[in-house]
């Protein structure tokens, strides 16, 4: 059994047929999904979804792409959202200097404010970091009381992975690790400590090999990413799935009886 630790079930392409998507996930052994809401409206939708699906858990925050568009009292609203018991973490948040869809000052301000809130509510943090490693690390170091921090869709260099681990943070890998050109990332996947690694699809994006052309990507496909990492680490897929699942449960403090409650 596996958990997709990061997907966007409320995104176009998945949301309209979410029952099918979750059914296919369950058939592939992916019994739980953590859906990431990238803004306040998205969070409402994600919470509605998790209300009817006990195996869907919510993470809510302001994506750096959305940082420029937040309203005046966005932080008060976010506090209310993340106080709900089915919101297990804040995010994805961080800095994206690759796309720069929001100006960097807004990205930095919204990132910092969310880290303050995460510290206050004592919930974990999911980081989105693109070509901004040093600035993200510097910012995080201002918040030493954060509960747990994961760099989602890690695709960086070994040096960056080592810095993240040394700071006590976690890494999560997507289908990018399965791509032919990702030999260096597979090296990173091999050396990550067994208790600090998670897997995700980031669906509807980033379909892994051997289904890379599939659009949209969906949670069932996390099995391909898990198989690739297991192969690199020289362990069975079952063994890797067990450790990744245990890690995800521990990182997010997920309830442990959800899969069993499910018919
Ligand atoms: Zn992201
Ligand atoms: Zn994402």
pLDDT digits (tens, 9 = 90+) for 61-84: 999 999 999 999 999 999 999 999
Query: In percent, how much of the chain has pLDDT > 70?
Result: 97
For ligand 2, the distance from its centroid to the CA atom of residue 260, given in whole angstroms, is 27
Task: Kindly report the average pLDDT of the chain as a whole number.
Answer: 96
Q: What is the pLDDT of residue 92?
A: 97
For ligand 1, the distance from its centroid to the CA atom of residue 262, given in whole angstroms, is 29
pLDDT digits (tens, 9 = 90+) for 8-35: 999 999 999 999 999 999 999 999 999 9
pLDDT digits (tens, 9 = 90+) for 127-183: 999 999 999 999 999 999 999 999 999 999 999 999 999 999 999 999 999 999 999
For ligand 1, the distance from its centroid to the CA atom of residue 20, given in whole angstroms, is 24
Nearest to 114 by CA among 94, 97, 128, 129: 94
Nearest to 173 by CA among 160, 181, 185: 185
Q: What is the pLDDT of residue 257?
A: 62
For ligand 1, the distance from its centroid to the CA atom of residue 165, given in whole angstroms, is 19
Q: What is the pLDDT of residue 263?
A: 42
pLDDT higher than 60, residue 259: no
For ligand 1, the distance from its centroid to the CA atom of residue 263, given in whole angstroms, is 32
Q: How confident is the model at residue 256 (pLDDT cuts 50, 70, 90)?
A: confident
For ligand 2, the distance from its centroid to the CA atom of residue 14, given in whole angstroms, is 13
Smallest-distance ligand from the CA of 59: 2
For ligand 1, the distance from its centroid to the CA atom of residue 61, given in whole angstroms, is 11
Nearest to 247 by CA among 206, 210, 195: 195
Alpha helices in 5-130 (DSSP H): 18-27, 40-52, 74-82, 104-121
For ligand 1, the distance from its centroid to the CA atom of residue 35, given in whole angstroms, is 12
Q: How confident is the model at residue 227 (pLDDT cuts 50, 70, 90)?
A: very high
For ligand 1, the distance from its centroid to the CA atom of residue 185, given in whole angstroms, is 17
Tokens 């998790």 sit at which residue? 50
For ligand 2, the distance from its centroid to the CA atom of residue 7, given in whole angstroms, is 6
For ligand 2, the distance from its centroid to the CA atom of residue 200, given in whole angstroms, is 9
Smallest-distance ligand from the CA of 93: 1
């Amino acid at each position: 059994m596996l958990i997709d630790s990061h997907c966007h079930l409320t995104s176009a392409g998945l949301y309209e047929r979410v029952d099918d998507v979750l059914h296919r996930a369950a058939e592939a052994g992916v019994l739980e999904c953590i859906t990431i809401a990238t803004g306040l409206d998205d969070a409402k939708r994600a919470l509605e979804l998790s209300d009817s699906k006990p195996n869907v858990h919510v993470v809510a925050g302001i994506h750096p792409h959305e940082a420029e568009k937040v309203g005046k009292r966005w932080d008060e609203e976010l506090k209310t959202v993340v106080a709900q018991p089915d919101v297990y973490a804040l995010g994805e948040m961080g800095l994206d200097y690759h796309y720069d869809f929001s100006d960097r000052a807004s990205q930095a301000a919204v990132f910092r404010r969310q880290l303050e809130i995460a510290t206050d509510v004592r919930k974990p943090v999911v980081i989105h970091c693109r070509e901004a490693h040093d600035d993200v690390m510097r910012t995080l170091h201002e918040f030493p009381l954060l509960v747990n921090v994961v760099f989602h869709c890690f695709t960086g260099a070994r040096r960056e992975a080592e810095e993240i681990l040394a700071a006590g943070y976690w890494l999560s890998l997507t289908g990018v690790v399965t791509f032919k050109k990702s030999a260096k990332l597979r090296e990173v996947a091999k050396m990550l400590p067994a208790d600090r690694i998670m897997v995700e699809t980031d669906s509807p994006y980033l379909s892994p090999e051997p289904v890379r052309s599939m659009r949209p990507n969906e949670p069932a496909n996390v099995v391909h990413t898990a198989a690739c990492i297991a192969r690199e680490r020289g362990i069975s897929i079952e063994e890797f799935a067990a450790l990744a699942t245990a890690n995800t449960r521990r990182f997010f403090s997920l309830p442990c009886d959800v899969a069993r409650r499910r018919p």
